[in-house]
Structure 1
Amino acid sequence: MRASCTDGREEVIEAWYMDDSDEDQRLPHHRDPKEFVSLDHIAELGVLSWRLDADNYETDEELKKIREARGYSYMDFLKVCPEKLPNYEEKIKCFFEEHLHIDEEIRYCVAGSGYFDVRDQDDRWIRISVKKGAMIVLPAGIYHRFTLDSNNYIEAMRLFVGDPVWTPFNRPHDHLPARNEYLETFVKKDVSNQAVDAAA
């Protein structure tokens, strides 16, 4: 089912369950038939999303409000493409290794496009496609990965609370407090809700 939101996010952010093919990671990897996931569903996994004005990010009041409300004090930009990123092939492989962070990962696509893959409560991959204007926040402790799509280009604003930390912890790192907190907040909560529903 496609996203039901009416705030324009679905024009720049789409999500779907991935197939199991090991073809080029930059392909969409839709299932057959396609199985779309709503933005409400990825929000239940802790993934927040906005549609912002990427042409005017310097003066965008909405971005300013989000940064102030969530404490995103540090900002920089990263261009991911063969011409702009040193050690491109190595970095792309690194980004696509399944990993987690002990802090949120905040990315605002100001140009180009790409895919963030996250695991759902049943450990199935959901692919999140982001285009220009899409901003997403992946919660601390969620297993995920990133790849370019076949356009081979994204420019992303990276936001951080305080000093930037880019440390990835490749799976498995289930012993980290951030992983346990993620499971308690988003996965076990969902399981307990389902148990209540089943008993009703």
Structure 2
Amino acid sequence: MVQAWYMDDAPSDPRQPHRPDPDRPVGLEQLRRLGVLYWKLDADKYENDPELEKIRRERNYSWMDIITICKDKLPNYEEKIKMFYEEHLHLDDEIRYILDGSGYFDVRDKEDKWIRIFMEKGDMITLPAGIYHRFTVDEKNYAKAMRLFVGEPVWTAYNRPADHFEARGQYMKFLAQTA
């Protein structure tokens, strides 16, 4: 099952867990109230997984590709890792399914605090349009992920501040309704 927690404020390497002492865990229900959805799937059968196909059909995730995030496979690796870790939002949902390796998605809660979500093989997550977030691999420096989209992919990330976008306004309304 996925692990999530409130992050510490240490300025150390973002690839470290950044778990505070004492630990401040975050459950799936709290993530759901932020609009973050989670599934645990069998990544070894992603090519022919009826459960994945059902999710894709129900949520209209029609487009997909696979990205390998490691020094040997991703051009401009260091630059991309820094870009992924810049706090940003998208105008569409971000859907990622970890097929191998591991990393962290960080999302902001209602009080603007960071929640770290540890993702490893078999974890699939949907971050809603308009949520501020970022991603980094962990200390293993390797993750292979399926990227899914509703319709054609849109890769544009809008670094914070990006509160003027309609997607951000809609997300803030969603948060207010779940309070």
* Equivalent residue in structure 2 for 1:155, among 130, 134, 144: 144
Indicate the residue corresponding to 1:67 in structure 2. 56
Indicate the residue corresponding to 1:189 in structure 2. 177
Please tell me the residue identity of whatever aligns with 2:87.
Answer: E
Give the superposed CA RMSD: 0.7
Structure 1 residue 35 displacement after superposition: 0.8
Please tell me the residue identity of whatever aligns with 1:189.
Answer: Q
Structure 1 residue 190 displacement after superposition: 3.8
- Gapped runs of 5+ residues in structure 2? none
- Gapped runs of 5+ residues in structure 1? 1-9, 192-200
Please tell me the residue identity of whatever aligns with 2:177.
Answer: K
Q: What's the CA shift string for 1:34-55, capped at 9, x where partnerless?
A: 1110011111100000000100
Q: Structure with the greater relative contact order (CA < 8 A, sep ≥ 6): 1 or 2?
A: 2
Please tell me the residue identity of whatever aligns with 1:125.
Answer: W
TM-score (structure 2 length as normaliser): 0.99
| Separation in structure 2 between the aligned mates of residue 147 and residue 58 of structure 1, nearest angstrom | 25
Please tell me the residue identity of whatever aligns with 1:107.
Answer: R
| Separation in structure 1 between the aligned mates of residue 10 and residue 158 of structure 2, nearest angstrom | 25
| Separation in structure 1 between the aligned mates of residue 110 and residue 145 of structure 2, nearest angstrom | 27
SS of structure 1 residue aligned to 2:29: helix
* Equivalent residue in structure 2 for 1:115, among 104, 109, 112: 104
Indicate the residue corresponding to 1:165 in structure 2. 154
Higher Cα radius of gyration: 1
| Separation in structure 1 between the aligned mates of residue 142 and residue 32 of structure 2, nearest angstrom | 26
Equivalent residue runs for 1:92-107 within 5 Å:
92-107=81-96
